[in-house]
Structure 1
């Protein structure tokens, strides 16, 4: 068999990356894994045991990659108020048109009918029923401009009651982020995700102006390969009051509704005494074998090695090798491009060493030079 072409290699590595991403999400959605994260990142659970968080406070099964983030509400045109009887009258008029017009108009009528019935059904549901679409939060927020982007993991949780407050309902999103250096600050994306968790509650948690039903949200980001100055840190961003004149601050439950938590891991030799950073480092970084990971998780963190969990850890380890190979390939290509730019290699020789056609290498070179 001949050497794998650059295109075939890229497809293979992209598949590895996608499968690695799915495996990471499955691990992240495990209730015991989430319980460890919640204990250190969500202040409502600081006094709770890991088992209590997993068994008593996480509601239902976490959603994994099924709920969309974006929704272009601001750019959507207002829909006309169409009554069903108007559609029926329109259908009678269509019959008088020629065959070509009939087909076109019939399609319009069908769309109008569906639109009217959907609007009618939504209106009835809003007036006559209480909102029950809380457990089933898997409806997508689809952006026609940017496509559909899904939350890695999203779930409902109950915070333990205190003397001051009864049970508080929370909506929590957890993201596993392998790339830290992007064209935008990752924290801004996290704030957007948290904001969408707030705004998406309209129509699912509350209707009309019942804002008192708004639930507190957390968007927690596990950054596997952060920039050096962020390594081994956990930072929480939240709303806090600032009294400008006088002192008339609202109760925290009326403004403390959005929290962004950035959990930045470090290399194994840099792990500090924080249990969560070590725990997530063992799970998501590729410096340990599958056997070593499972031993540490079972011994140090009381994670039972069920057949399912053990299989998911194995998948992560196997797939991380493919992702590492991709990074090495990208690094080799970058070095060859630099050698061509410096006049050390011809583009033909560099393409041969990169296992690319000359055209493929030239395209990669143009892309790299443009980014610089």
Structure 2
């Protein structure tokens, strides 16, 4: 039991370090500029260096998604009604502002690194989560980007999701946006419905595939694939004009080393299942021990939520399964 739990913790730590390196690599302004250029119309005709110079410093896993937290640094008091008591803490992976055009119009950007876009793995439809994040980015602007009823000061928001488990022929970029439809009468002039857009980029998971025909996907697959860091460095520099800094080189090395550790432990194929099984065994032992000690159900549920960082609904599900 302890071996399984310890192994699950080790795997989780390795995976967390790997994921953190992915976020740091994606947050490099050279990478961000290319993501913006090849996914958003506002930047398609802008050169990379200009985009880079107009990007504010990115925040990585620092800003909470939940109501009352996204703009917490600008709000003096957050009411309890603005919180989501049954959810764990959720952070934007990468969030920053960028300025475009001659007038340097401000746009708020969120970029998420996502293991999968498949509902069978996520347990929900990704487009619903994208819409939720966009909604939070819009509503959080109140008292930050505008006050009272000055809705014309609302900034455009863009949420870009990079998913990493597409099939061999499923590399793609899809955009979600509002559209106008006239049901009756004359068409209104609604120039601001472009305030909200989501983008889903699907990268292929298999190695040694033919290079993607899309330059952004090809670059991201090179950046994130399990390959020798020196080879990556040469490709990023030679094929995509990316200057690899010492920090970027270090993160590439860390990713390569962490990938090797995961592979050596035989976890490449079964990592998610192994983590889940190990943690579930720990949860089962925890529930059984507490029941034997005479602890009430409500208290056990509370402890499960805090100790294992799961939702109350999930905690009740585990309790019902393992208390029988």
Question: Normalized against structure 1, the TM-score is what?
Answer: 0.65
Alignment partner, residue 150 of structure 2: 210
What count of residue pairs does the alignment treat as equivalent?
267
Deviations 1:263-310 (A, max 9, x none): 001244143221100110011122x22121111001111111221111
Alignment partner, residue 58 of structure 1: 55
CA spacing shift, 1:196–1:270, aligned 2, 3 Å: farther
CA spacing shift, 1:168–1:33, aligned 2, 3 Å: same
CA spacing shift, 1:173–1:323, aligned 2, 3 Å: farther
Q: For 2:234 and 2:168, locate their aligned partners in 1 and report how far apart those are by CA, in whole Å.
A: 30
1:9 Cα offset (Å): 1.3
1:248 Cα offset (Å): 2.2
Q: For 1:265 and 1:329, locate their aligned partners in 2 and report how far apart those are by CA, in whole Å.
A: 20
CA spacing shift, 1:326–1:215, aligned 2, 3 Å: same
Alignment partner, residue 308 of structure 2: none
Alignment partner, residue 132 of structure 1: none
Alignment partner, residue 260 of structure 2: 321
Alignment partner, residue 201 of structure 2: 263
Larger Rg: 1
Q: Which ranges in structure 2 are unaligned for 5 or more consecutive residues?
A: 70-75, 289-317
Query: Equivalent of 1:24, from 4, 22, 30?
Result: 22
Q: Which ranges in structure 1 are unaligned for 5 or more consecutive residues?
A: 74-117, 123-140, 338-355
Indicate if the aligned counterparts of 1:272 and 1:278 stay in contact, CA closer than 8 A: yes
CA spacing shift, 1:189–1:323, aligned 2, 3 Å: farther
Alignment partner, residue 11 of structure 1: 9
Query: For the aligned residues, what is the CA RMSD?
Result: 3.0
The answer as to 2:63 corresponding to 1:67 is yes
| Runs of 4 or more consecutive aligned structure 1 residues displaced over 6 Å after TM superposition | 331-334
Indicate if the aligned counterparts of 2:8 and 2:274 stay in contact, CA closer than 8 A: no
CA spacing shift, 1:15–1:183, aligned 2, 3 Å: same
Which residues in structure 2 correspond to 1:240-251 (within 5 Å)?
A: 240-251=179-190
Question: Normalized against structure 2, the TM-score is what?
Answer: 0.74
Q: Secondary structure at the match of 1:48?
A: coil
